[in-house]
Amino acid sequence: MDSRDSPLRHLDNDVLTAIFELLRPREGLRPLSATCRWIRDASKPVLFRHSWVGSTWLRGGGSKDTVSGYLPQSLWTFVRHLSFYGDFPAWPIDSLPQPEVLLRRADQTASFLRSPLELAFLAAVVEQVPVSLETLVVSSEFLPSLQSLSNVVWPNLRELRLQGERIVDETTPSTGPLLASMPQLQTLVLELAPPAGATPRQRICPKDDRELDRPCPWPDLLTFSIAYPDPDDTIYSLLPHTLRSLSLRCWPRHYIHVDWPAFTRGQTLGWQSPILSAAELLRIIQHRQWPCLSDLDIEYRQDECEKELLEALPAACPNLTTLTLHRYRMPGADDIDMTMLAQALAPLAHLRDLRLHLDFSQHPPAIAAVSDYWRPRVGALVYSKYHECATYLASTLATSLRSILFLVRILETNEWVPFFVMVDEAHQRTARINMLIAEEYELEWTAVGRLEELSTSTLMFHQTNLQDECTVNVFIVFANRIVRLFTE
């Protein structure tokens, strides 16, 4: 077929770019770009946006006129991110200009294995750049080094992320004074797991702090995420009304401890997962109203206050557009009352995306993906229980709702299965799963890993100017076929 007759030529540029973005993480864009010249030209901005340069080329092993170690000069205009890799032996300092102390972003690697030398090096760098630093992403092992700088002001720090094991050394001071020296914070993430024997709750303000009328230390804070929060922490009364995203969760997620009690990294490292009860979470939610909050992520275990907690959400966060709810049953308890859930969330007039992990009693174990006995039962659960719940919620919740997603736990890959809210022939709001997603779950469990990107892309298009749901779903079908064609 002549490339001029290709259906791809009839797609708008934004849709075509979205397809390229969908294929790129799965290494499907390169074979597609090799099919013809016009696709090659159209995909160049996405294909070459992030480029890598090897140390061999830097040391003179590659030619600038070839792709040996780097891109040809004709493609340089498409590069937006440049990464260096390889071995870099020490260079004589005399051959380099004296470095200016200027750093805007500092990230650590994902490994939990730290050497004292690495921490000392990072501390030496960070303490020289508090004025210019804008983003700091480090493990909890670096926290003592940071707290030694609590008397230093970080005037431009916009984002701080701490992740790892919570430090419980009695000589380590509270994080409150350190965080108070970062007045421009817009994103604060404290994902710290308590080790065995530690206090289960995480505080920012000291226990004896009861002053509620002082201003928030971060007036411009937009995103706040904390693991195992303390309901008695006064910080929740101080958070600004302009907060956009709030996450009160477990880290790692509590279902990891539930599914793999003997093999999870939490058990291996000796971490606890002291999940909050509904009553404890209610005490935090009731601290104040957040009228600008659009994204809320909560994780709790049911108790007698669950109904009151769910009913408090619309009052505290009336303008939510995305709600993620991880709910766990008490041992031997019944599944959640869907009528109660729907009635409690119905006042959320702007809700668009609802993500639910409801810990249904009949959910197969996480090992189901490798079991011939459980595999068809997982598909049956998706089609029956999840579809029934999604349909009921679609017909009961606000008309702004566009998608309902349920978490399916499969080995170590946990997937959100999306149901899309539509209007049927009888003009009734209902929920339907995409036909290709249903096909994946029914016939080919080895391909479930692809659903994460597809569901993410689906949500993205529901929130853009593509208002016609039929158009959206036609695009999803087309994109999924493209993914299959170039990733198998």
Residue environment code for 188-224, b if the CB has 16+ CB neighbours within 10 A, otherwise e = bbbbbbbeeebeebbbbbeeebeeeeeebbbeebbbb
- The residue with greater pLDDT, 176 or 103, is 176
Strand partners for 249: 227
Tell me what the pLDDT averaged over the chain comes to: 77
pLDDT band at 327 (very low <50, low <70, confident <90, very high): very high
pLDDT per position as a tens digit, 425-449: 888 999 988 665 655 554 333 333 3
Helix (H/G/I), strand (E/B), else coil: 378: helix
pLDDT of residue 404 exceeding 80, the answer is yes
Contact between residue 168 and residue 195 where contact means Cβ atoms under 8 Å apart: yes
pLDDT per position as a tens digit, 112-143: 455 677 777 777 788 888 888 999 988 888 88
Contact between residue 402 and residue 353 where contact means Cβ atoms under 8 Å apart: yes
pLDDT of residue 196 exceeding 60, the answer is yes
Contact between residue 300 and residue 323 where contact means Cβ atoms under 8 Å apart: no
pLDDT of residue 309 exceeding 50, the answer is yes
The domain that contains 194 carries what CATH number? Answer: 3.80.10
In angstroms, the CA 341 to CA 307 distance is: 8
pLDDT band at 57 (very low <50, low <70, confident <90, very high): low
From start to end of 245-371, where are the E strands? 245-249, 295-301, 322-328, 353-357
Quick one: which of 217, 90, 205 has its CA closest to 154? 217
Strand partners for 1: none
Residue 302: CB atoms within 10 Å: 19
pLDDT score at 341 = 98
Residue 169, domain member (yes or no): yes
Helix (H/G/I), strand (E/B), else coil: 142: helix
In angstroms, the CA 257 to CA 272 distance is: 9
In angstroms, the CA 69 to CA 89 distance is: 18
pLDDT band at 411 (very low <50, low <70, confident <90, very high): low
pLDDT of residue 456 exceeding 70, the answer is no
33, two tokens? 């770009």
pLDDT score at 9 = 72
Total structural domains in the chain? Answer: 1
Mean pLDDT, range 361-370, rounded to an integer: 65
pLDDT score at 190 = 95
In angstroms, the CA 431 to CA 436 distance is: 15
Mean pLDDT, range 89-116, rounded to an integer: 55
In angstroms, the CA 454 to CA 435 distance is: 13
pLDDT per position as a tens digit, 267-301: 567 788 999 999 999 999 998 899 999 999 999 99
Quick one: which of 102, 172, 109, 159 has its CA closest to 131? 102
pLDDT band at 393 (very low <50, low <70, confident <90, very high): very high
Mean pLDDT, range 457-484, rounded to an integer: 36
The torsion angles phi and psi of 78, rounded to 5 degrees, stand at -90, -10
Strand partners for 52: 83
Residue 237, domain member (yes or no): yes
Q: In which domain, by residue range, is 123 found?
A: 102-287
pLDDT band at 70 (very low <50, low <70, confident <90, very high): low
Residue 63, domain member (yes or no): no
Q: Which amino acid is at 364?
A: P
The percentage of the chain sitting over the pLDDT mark of 70, rounded to a whole number, equals: 69
Strand partners for 192: 164
pLDDT band at 367 (very low <50, low <70, confident <90, very high): low
The torsion angles phi and psi of 250, rounded to 5 degrees, stand at -100, 150
pLDDT per position as a tens digit, 199-258: 899 999 888 776 666 788 999 999 999 999 999 999 999 999 999 999 999 998 998 888
Angle (deg, nearest 10), helices 338-345 and 306-316: 20
In angstroms, the CA 130 to CA 182 distance is: 10
Least confident piece of the model among 14-23, 87-96, 363-372: 87-96
DSSP secondary structure, 25-82, as one string: GGT-HHHHHTS-HHHHHHHHHHHTSEEEEEHHHHTT-S-TTSSSSS--GGGGGG--EE
Helix then strand then coil, in percent of the chain rounded to 5, is 40, 20, 45
pLDDT per position as a tens digit, 147-163: 777 788 999 999 999 99
Strand partners for 406: 356, 417
Mean pLDDT, range 172-178, rounded to an integer: 74
Q: DSSP label at 447?
A: G
- The residue with greater pLDDT, 72 or 480, is 72
In angstroms, the CA 388 to CA 402 distance is: 16
- Sign of the CA dihedral running 172, 178, 180, 186: negative
Q: DSSP label at 416?
A: E
Quick one: which of 214, 261, 255, 253 has its CA closest to 235? 214
pLDDT score at 438 = 57
